[in-house]
Amino acid sequence: MWSSAIFGSFARALIVALLLHIAPTDARQKCSLKARDQAVLHPVDHGPVPSPTSSTIIGTATVTFNGKPSASPIYNYSPYRYGMDKIRGVNIGGWLVLEPWITPSLFDATGNDKIIDEFTLGQYLDPGKAQTLLQQHWSTWITEDDFVQIAAAGLNHVRIPIGYWSIPLTSSDTKESTDSSPYVTGAWDFLLRAVSWANNHGLQVIIDLHGAPGSQNGYDNSGELTNNPVWAVNQGNISRTVDTIKFLAKTFGSDVGMIELLNEAAGFRGDDWANAVRQYWLDGYAAVRASGGQDVQVMIGEAFMGFDAWKNFLSYPGAQGVFMDYHEYQIFSHPELSRSYDDHINFACTYKPTLSTFSVTSLYTILGEWSNAITDCAKWLNGRWVGSRWDNTWYPSSDTQYHGSCDGYTGSYQGWSDSYKQFLRKYFEVQVEVGEAGQGWVFWTWKTESADEWSYQKGLEGGWIPQNPTDRRYPNICK
């Protein structure tokens, strides 16, 4: 078991995870402090609100499924009005971009302990075997029935992460390389299929570019776990990303509700990164408007830089239809893990004025990722082979602290206490309240294999997520 190869990848994952998770957590804490201290801004006009349209077939997507091509009509019959209706949605995590903790069994099925993310899966697995494994995953992890369930749960949006490597740019689309190796390609057909499923069931899609060339943050969920992400410090990588957005905008236009330019860009890594992110938002916005028209919304992220960094940035009338994405987790440091149930609720409430103020004064803002987790106990949440801070199984660690056993906090909810489930309901409701103080929310994530506290689907089944997301057991939670 403890061969040097295994230990090598084990140690690498640990060290990388340790380095990475300390930095963003600190940045996150810093920005939340800043956000709470932010000065009162002046309200701005968000511009015209799109008017409802009637149902029309606006195009077709040609997809291949199980090797057979088929064409599904794309309907645009859901007259969702951005700026008037609250966004209520789920992320489709762990589907078209892999995360070891969402589907640990897929990583086990590789039979290779060095595979810790989608990049290494392509790198170390036989290409035929990798293609079979991923086709199997893509065609089963999420199906149209999930979209039926999501719509039935009263939700109106799905946010779908996709990696740059899955988007089939040709040399006519970019001056940069179109090479995707070592990644396995093929997820694109499923994205097309998902857009038509969403349209079939009245759901709006947020296409979320979750992995950029060179990695925009070094997290495994960017495709590549690395302590040396290079996206922002390499102009070729950035140009290719703008061209990728152009391709997405040209392909989908207003067939989707929103295009999110990039997930969790690591603006905390230094001025060069912060400046690159800022310029990329401007260029990405222009690319969407030039290739996708005026009707699709564009989402940027606060990039761990705090809301103050984005005052009046890309706001109307210089730009229009721009949203800000903020992510809220309270589990990636010991101080956060030390919070009591009430502390978690109260801390979430501190974002309420921040989101509402920024939404009124600069950009419509949503909580684009958040969950019910109050521990980091989900298996491999911190990386494949990496333990949890919560129960002190995160090695090597310079700041060890034991918060308790992971039993009863993750895995199947069947073994959870009533008081924990009651808290989860309250924690769900408070974050909904905070999100809706802005323009809404998108829960992370719809489905997980073995971490029910992160699963919207299991929350519905287990009762800590209401069948109707507007139901309140704890109205006006934030005093």
Ligand X SMILES: *[C@@H]1O[C@H](CO)[C@@H](O)[C@H](O)[C@H]1NC(C)=O
Residue 214: half-sphere exposure toward Cβ, Cα within 13 Å: 21
Q: Stretches 62-70, 228-236, 435-443, 458-466: which one binds ligand X (CB under 6 A)? A: 228-236
Site of tokens 């391709």: 247
Q: How far apart are CA 344 and CA 337, in angstroms?
A: 9
CB of 234 or CB of 422, closer to ligand X:
234
Q: How far apart are CA 264 and CA 113, in angstroms?
A: 27
Distances (CA, A) of 23 to 37, 302, 304, 341: 21, 16, 10, 25
Catalytic residue among 118, 369, 429, 453: 369
Distances (CA, A) of 195 to 24, 221, 288, 296, 365: 32, 21, 18, 14, 23
Residue 227 CB, shortest distance to ligand X, in Å, is 16
Active site residue 118: no
Residue 17 CB, shortest distance to ligand X, in Å, is 22
**169 sits near ligand X (criterion: CB under 6 A):** no
Residue 335 CB, shortest distance to ligand X, in Å, is 35
User: Binding string, 206-225, against ligand X, x = CB under 6 A?
Assistant: -------xx-----------
Cβ-closest position to ligand X: 213
Q: Hey, which residues between 74 and 93 contact ligand X (CB under 6 A)?
A: none
Burial of 234 from C-beta contacts in 10 A (0-12 / 13-18 / 19+): middle
Question: What residue type is assigned to position 411 of the chain?
Answer: G
User: Which of 273, 304, 268 is CA-nearest to residue 31?
Assistant: 304
CB of 228 or CB of 294, closer to ligand X:
228
DSSP-derived secondary structure letter, 332: S
**234 sits near ligand X (criterion: CB under 6 A):** yes
Collapsed DSSP state (helix, strand, coil) of residue 440: strand
Axis crossing angle, helix 351-361 with helix 418-437, rounded to the nearest 10: 20
CB of 156 or CB of 226, closer to ligand X:
226
Q: How many CB atoms lie within 10 A of CB 411?
A: 17
Residues that contact ligand X, how many (by CB under 6 A): 9
- At residue 62, φ and ψ (nearest 5 deg) are -90, 125
Residue 159 CB, shortest distance to ligand X, in Å, is 24
Out of 50, 182, 236, 408, which residue is the one contacting ligand X (CB under 6 A)? 236
Residue 217 CB, shortest distance to ligand X, in Å, is 14
User: Which of 238, 245, 194 is CA-nearest to residue 91?
Assistant: 194
Q: How many CB atoms lie within 10 A of CB 67?
A: 6
Residue 360 CB, shortest distance to ligand X, in Å, is 39
Out of 230, 286, 309, 360, which residue is the one contacting ligand X (CB under 6 A)? 230
Out of 177, 340, 412, 417, which residue is the one contacting ligand X (CB under 6 A)? 177
Query: Cis omega (within 30 of 0) on the bond before 469?
Result: no
Q: Stretches 97-105, 188-196, 234-242, 385-393: which one binds ligand X (CB under 6 A)? A: 234-242
CB of 239 or CB of 401, closer to ligand X:
239
**240 sits near ligand X (criterion: CB under 6 A):** yes
User: Tokens representing 316?
Assistant: 């109307």
CB of 176 or CB of 208, closer to ligand X:
176
CB of 92 or CB of 98, closer to ligand X:
98
User: Tokens representing 435?
Assistant: 């999100």
Q: How many CB atoms lie within 10 A of CB 392?
A: 14
Catalytic residue among 260, 264, 429, 436: 264
CB of 139 or CB of 234, closer to ligand X:
234
User: Tokens representing 29?
Assistant: 């804490």
CB of 170 or CB of 398, closer to ligand X:
170
Which parts of this chain interact with ligand X (CB under 6 A)?
176-177, 213-214, 230, 234, 236-237, 240
Please give the positions annotated as active site: 264, 369
